[in-house]
């Protein structure tokens, strides 16, 4: 790749760190300039490639430069071919599920979730080259020693589950993703022939660290650890003390007294304490729009709390600010999945009327006939309220044939789609194939093809079906639905079509990146660091005995990533909810430590006193007529105008009370006559009993006018008929 000089972007410290990397690379290859293609740089992500290229160009001072090879280690390893195919996780989880179901160890548990948790444990054991003892009793004794207790029944059961399933999954020659990655790295280490330069902000995972250790025996390997570089910068001295050392309150004052004036953060970092979710979202919305008005073109919103992020996104879009989202949203939260799950709920619930009504209101249903769907939703609701039928698709069709003929066609389509699904247990791949046929009949597939998220979901369903072709685990409808729900919750949709100066991202994705401004959203103690999901297998004592990383290691990575983000960016705002539902809510301990140290050293607690006062003046209202955006503190109260013909000549006492209590309710009910729909009666009341008894007696006496003229047995037969 040929690089010509161009303008520098990014913060001053960011440039300084990249310049240090560039000087080291250029110094090691001074005899080869301007050709650096013999070197290979391993990046934490591809966003680091451009600033490094700029630094190499700037530091070299050359008019043109042939850049080194720049890639991530995962992508480089992926280029190494393997003889054996890699077993997908979908098939491995299905195998684990079948094993758990056959052994009946957990009769009342969610076996799909348990299978995924066990699979994660086995992958971790593989990743760290942990081999369990051959004998189950030896493994149980090892657990007892780690737990520092006697080997009881519960511990023996835990040992048996993990030991038996571990060896059952490891018995075959198939490669899983972890083993495949390790094999690729091992082969790559034997092939590497050029110097390696590695950019990192936190410790590498075990296979990657082992790979670099082997590479050092063949070539020069240079690590650029951002943590070490931050320590050496006077401007980052306070950050390094607060986030890199486990400090106690008794040494804070002494540390604060030793900090140099250049470590002051008042111009770079501000904290905002909100009172509730809505105020936090509003504050973030105002801050982002302020930065846009200042001309900032690269604004990162680092999301810790997804609920606040969802609300912030809505506020920004209301202000006509689009958002580019690197984190994405799980498919379970999207409308393309809502129509799917509503359909399966209706099938599993024997077409309970509320499930059917929710399904008919889904805009992706009958995408080939949207007018039909809207009419069907209205007609179906009127029918069930008027005739009281509350379940069973065939009953709906029977009533519709008599009272709503236009509703028969959409209901028949539902019946045809139901018949496309297997009537008994079937493998997951068969369920997925049948689901596609069923959704095709419902017109959902056509709607998905016109939607970006729908297209990605279709691709996922096709991929899962292909991956599971070799699996023969027979699942009932309920088992398959739980599996599908879990898959939708674990896979993420990312809209790659949006380009915007505002970027939603997550903390690990910010490694070695700088922005014009950074907003850290939802930084309370519950979200930063996020609680460690230890699961139900092995505590830290057992993990240490087996050679697995402790739960604190993930928290250490979060702290390292946060340090790098704060060091590389000159403008940072941090928000959190200081109170939730009237109860105090603590700030993240990382920022609490940083705030306390800064207060002791410089007399400034870093709190943003300006942002809160701007919220009332920055609310956005949309001018519907002009289609433009205006800043207004209040919106006008609606003032409906009533024609003389609609005014009632007389009103009842209840209508008068409605007028006094709520004029809008009076206007809707008594002027527009928008009365509430009748409730669907799902249980019999006294009026039903009286009506039916009357009809029964009327039919009985129409056939038998005089009881004395018939035998008792004959009369009973007529009554029962």
Q: For the segment 301-329, what is each residue's pLDDT rounded down to a tens digit?
A: 999 999 999 999 999 999 999 999 998 88
Nearest in space to 391 (alpha carbons), one of 683, 34, 26: 683
Local confidence band at 330 (pLDDT 50, 70, 90 cut-offs): very high
- 471, 493, 515 - which closes a domain: 493
Asked if residue 190 and residue 126 are part of one domain, the reply reads no
Would you say residue 247 has pLDDT above 80?
Answer: no
Cis upstream peptide for 178 (omega within 30°): no
Asked if residue 433 and residue 310 are part of one domain, the reply reads no
In the chain, pLDDT over 70 holds for what percent of residues? Answer: 89
Asked if residue 279 and residue 131 are part of one domain, the reply reads no
β-strand pairing of 583-584 with 572-580: antiparallel
Asked if residue 293 and residue 278 are part of one domain, the reply reads yes
Query: Residue 51's domain spans which residues?
Result: 2-81+180-231
pLDDT of residue 630: 41
Residue at 247 is within a domain: no
* Rounded Cα distance, 493 and 325, in Å: 10
Residue 170 vs residue 280, higher pLDDT:
280
Would you say residue 2 has pLDDT above 50?
Answer: no
* Rounded Cα distance, 696 and 192, in Å: 91
Residue 91 vs residue 539, higher pLDDT:
91
Would you say residue 624 has pLDDT above 60?
Answer: no
- In tens, the pLDDT along 355-368 reads 999 999 999 999 99
Asked if residue 343 and residue 477 are part of one domain, the reply reads yes
- CB burial readout 75-86, b (16+ within 10 A) else e: ebbeeeeeeeee
pLDDT of residue 274: 95
* Rounded Cα distance, 87 and 180, in Å: 9
Asked if residue 424 and residue 479 are part of one domain, the reply reads yes
Residue 450 vs residue 258, higher pLDDT:
450
Asked if residue 527 and residue 414 are part of one domain, the reply reads no
Asked if residue 481 and residue 517 are part of one domain, the reply reads no
Residue at 642 is within a domain: no
637 has which bridge partners?
none
Asked if residue 347 and residue 379 are part of one domain, the reply reads yes
Contact 346, 359 (CB under 8 A): yes
Would you say residue 84 has pLDDT above 70?
Answer: yes
- CB burial readout 232-260, b (16+ within 10 A) else e: ebebbbbbbbbbbeeeeeeebeebbeebe
Residue at 436 is within a domain: yes
Residue at 632 is within a domain: no
Contact 413, 441 (CB under 8 A): yes
Local confidence band at 157 (pLDDT 50, 70, 90 cut-offs): confident
Residue at 663 is within a domain: no
> What DSSP line would sit under 192-239, residue for residue?
--S-EEEEESSPPPHHHHHHHHHHTTTS-EEEEEHHHHHHT-GGGHHH
Domain tally, the chain: 5
Asked if residue 362 and residue 471 are part of one domain, the reply reads yes
- In tens, the pLDDT along 108-133 reads 889 999 999 889 888 988 898 888 88
Residue 306 vs residue 706, higher pLDDT:
306
The 3-state DSSP class for residue 270 equals strand
- CATH code of the domain covering residue 349: 1.10.486.10
Residue at 351 is within a domain: yes
pLDDT of residue 9: 38
pLDDT of residue 4: 33
- Strands, DSSP E only, in 485-571? 492-493, 502-505, 517-521
Residue at 626 is within a domain: no
* Rounded Cα distance, 715 and 721, in Å: 10
Contact 417, 344 (CB under 8 A): no
Asked if residue 337 and residue 459 are part of one domain, the reply reads yes
- 156, 174, 192 - which closes a domain: 174
- Could you identify the residue written with the tokens 């920004």? 316
Mean pLDDT of the chain: 87
- CATH code of the domain covering residue 207: 3.40.50.300
- In tens, the pLDDT along 648-663 reads 878 887 777 877 788 8
Q: What are phi and psi of 498, to 5 degrees?
A: -85, 130
Residue at 462 is within a domain: yes
Residues 6+ apart with CB under 8 A from 50: none
- 133, 154, 174 - which closes a domain: 174
Asked if residue 337 and residue 324 are part of one domain, the reply reads no
State both tokens at 163: 């030991």
Would you say residue 172 has pLDDT above 90?
Answer: no
Would you say residue 620 has pLDDT above 80?
Answer: no
Local confidence band at 535 (pLDDT 50, 70, 90 cut-offs): low
Nearest in space to 368 (alpha carbons), one of 446, 435, 479, 439: 446
Local confidence band at 680 (pLDDT 50, 70, 90 cut-offs): low
């Amino acid at each position: 790749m040929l690089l010509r000089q161009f303008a520098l972007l990014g913060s001053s410290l960011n440039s300084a760190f990249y310049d240090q990397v560039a000087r080291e690379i250029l110094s090691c290859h001074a005899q080869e300039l301007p050709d650096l293609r013999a070197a290979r740089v391993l990046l934490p992500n591809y966003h680091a490639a451009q600033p490094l290229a700029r630094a190499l160009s700037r530091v070299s001072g050359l008019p043109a430069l042939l850049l080194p090879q720049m890639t991530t280690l995962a992508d480089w390893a992926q280029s190494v071919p393997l003889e054996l195919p890699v077993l997908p996780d979908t098939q491995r989880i299905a195998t684990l599920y079948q094993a758990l179901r056959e052994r009946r160890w957990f009769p009342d548990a969610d076996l799909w979730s348990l299978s995924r948790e066990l699979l994660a444990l086995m992958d971790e054991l593989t990743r760290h080259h942990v081999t369990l003892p051959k004998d189950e009793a030896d493994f149980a004794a090892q657990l007892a020693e780690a737990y520092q207790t006697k080997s009881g029944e519960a511990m023996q059961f835990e040992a048996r589950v993990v030991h038996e399933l571990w060896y059952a999954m490891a018995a075959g020659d198939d490669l899983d993703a972890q083993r495949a990655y390790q094999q690729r790295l091992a082969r790559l280490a034997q092939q590497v022939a050029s110097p390696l330069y590695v950019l990192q902000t936190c410790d590498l995972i075990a296979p990657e660290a082992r790979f670099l250790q082997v590479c050092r025996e063949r070539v020069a390997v240079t690590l650029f650890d951002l943590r070490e570089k931050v320590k050496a910068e006077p401007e980052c001295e306070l950050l390094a003390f607060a986030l890199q050392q486990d400090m106690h309150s008794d040494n804070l004052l002494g540390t604060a007294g030793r900090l140099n004036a250049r470590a002051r953060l008042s111009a770079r970092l501000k904290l905002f304490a909100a009172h509730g979710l809505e105020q936090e979202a509003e504050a973030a919305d105002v801050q982002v729009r302020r930065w846009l008005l200042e001309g900032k073109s690269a604004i990162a919103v680092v999301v810790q709390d997804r609920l606040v992020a969802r609300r912030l996104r809505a506020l920004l879009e209301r202000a006509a600010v689009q958002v580019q989202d690197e984190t994405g949203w799980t498919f379970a939260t999207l409308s393309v999945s809502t129509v799917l799950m509503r359909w399966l709920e209706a099938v599993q619930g024997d077409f309970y009327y509320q499930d059917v009504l929710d399904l008919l209101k889904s805009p992706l249903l009958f995408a080939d006939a949207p007018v039909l769907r809207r009419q069907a939703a209205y007609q179906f609701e009127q029918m069930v309220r008027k005739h009281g039928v509350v379940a069973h698709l065939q009953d709906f069709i029977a009533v519709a044939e008599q009272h709503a003929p236009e509703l028969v066609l959409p209901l028949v389509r539902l019946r045809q789609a139901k018949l496309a699904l297997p009537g008994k247990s079937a493998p997951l791949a068969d369920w997925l194939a049948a689901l596609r046929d069923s959704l095709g009949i419902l017109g959902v597939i056509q709607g998905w093809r016109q939607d970006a998220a729908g297209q990605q979901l279709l691709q996922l369903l096709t991929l899962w079906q292909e991956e599971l072709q070799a699996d023969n685990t027979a699942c009932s409808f309920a088992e398959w639905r739980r599996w599908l729900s879990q898959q939708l919750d674990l896979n993420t949709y990312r809209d790659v079509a949006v380009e915007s100066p505002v970027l939603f991202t997550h903390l690990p994705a910010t490694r070695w990146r700088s922005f014009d401004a950074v907003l850290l959203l939802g930084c309370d103690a519950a979200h930063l660091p996020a609680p460690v999901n230890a699961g139900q297998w092995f505590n830290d004592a057992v993990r240490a005995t087996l050679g697995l990383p402790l739960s604190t290691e993930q928290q250490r990575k979060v702290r390292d990533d946060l340090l790098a983000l704060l060091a590389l960016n000159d403008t940072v705002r941090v928000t959190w909810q200081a109170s939730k539902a009237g109860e105090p809510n603590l700030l993240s301990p990382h920022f609490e430590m940083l705030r306390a140290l800064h207060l002791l050293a410089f007399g400034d607690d870093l709190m943003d006193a300006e942002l809160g006062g701007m919220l009332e003046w920055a609310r956005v209202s949309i001018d519907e007529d002009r289609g433009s955006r205006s800043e207004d503190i209040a919106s006008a109260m609606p003032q409906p105008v009533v024609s003389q013909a609609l005014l009632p000549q007389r009103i009842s006492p209840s209508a008068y009370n409605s007028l006094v209590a709520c004029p809008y309710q009076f206007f809707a009910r008594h002027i527009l006559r928008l009365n509430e729909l009748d409730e669907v009666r799902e249980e019999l009341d006294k009026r039903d009993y009286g009506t039916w008894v009357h009809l029964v007696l009327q039919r009985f006496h129409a056939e038998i006018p005089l009881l004395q003229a018939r035998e008792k047995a004959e009369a009973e037969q007529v009554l029962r008929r």
